[in-house]
Amino acid sequence: MAISPLKIGSLEVWPPLVSAPMAGYTGGVYREILREHGCPYCYTEMVSAKGLLHGGDDSEEILLHADSDKPLAVQIFGYEPESMAQAARMLSEPERGFAAIDINMGCPARKITSQGSGGALLKDVSLACDIVRAVRDSSDLPVTVKMRLGWDEPSGAVRFAKEVAASGAHMIVVHGRTVSQGYSGKADWKAIEEIASHVPVPVVGNGDVLTAAEALDRLERGPCSGVMVGRAILGNPVFFEDALALLRGEPPEEYTPQRKMRLAKEHFVRSIERYGEKRGLLEMRKQLVFYFRGMRGAARLRELLLREKSPEAVVRLLEEGWRAYQ
Q: For 218-270, how does the pLDDT look when each residue is reduced to its tens digit (9 = 90+)? A: 999 999 999 999 999 999 999 999 999 999 999 999 999 889 999 999 999 99
Q: What is the pLDDT, as a whole number, of residue 2?
A: 86
Lowest mean pLDDT, pick from 31-45, 84-98, 135-149, 303-317: 303-317
Angle between helices 311-320 and 298-307 (to 10 degrees): 160
Using DSSP, state whether 200 is helix, strand or coil.
Answer: coil
Q: Assess contact for 267 and 297: CB atoms under 8 A.
A: no
Confidence of residue 322 (pLDDT cuts 50, 70, 90): low
Q: What is the pLDDT, as a whole number, of residue 94?
A: 96
Long-range contacts of 62-66 (CB under 8 A, 24+ apart): 62/27, 63/91, 63/96, 64/28, 65/28, 65/31, 65/97, 66/28, 66/32
Stated pTM of the model: 0.94
Q: What is the pLDDT, as a whole number, of residue 1?
A: 62
- Residue in 42, 107, 129, 224 annotated catalytic: 107
Has 107 been annotated as catalytic? yes
Domain 6-247 has CATH 3.60.20.10: no
Q: What's the distance, CA 211 to chain centroid?
A: 16
Q: What is the pLDDT, as a whole number, of residue 272?
A: 95
Lowest mean pLDDT, pick from 53-57, 97-101, 187-191, 234-238: 53-57
Residue 320's contacts (CB-CB under 8 Å, 6 or more residues apart) are none
pLDDT reading at 321 higher than 80: no
* Model pLDDT for residues 116-152, shown as the tens digit of each residue: 999 999 999 999 999 999 999 999 999 999 999 999 9
Domain boundaries, the chain: 6-247, 257-325
How buried is residue 156: exposed, middle or buried, by Cβ count under 10 Å (0-12/13-18/19+)? middle
* Model pLDDT for residues 80-120, shown as the tens digit of each residue: 999 999 999 999 999 999 999 999 999 999 999 999 999 99
Q: What is the pLDDT, as a whole number, of residue 325?
A: 47
Mean of the per-residue pLDDT values of the chain: 94
What's the whole-number mean pLDDT along residues 139-167?
A: 97
Q: What is the pLDDT, as a whole number, of residue 59?
A: 87
pLDDT reading at 20 higher than 90: yes
pLDDT reading at 28 higher than 50: yes
Q: What is the pLDDT, as a whole number, of residue 323?
A: 64
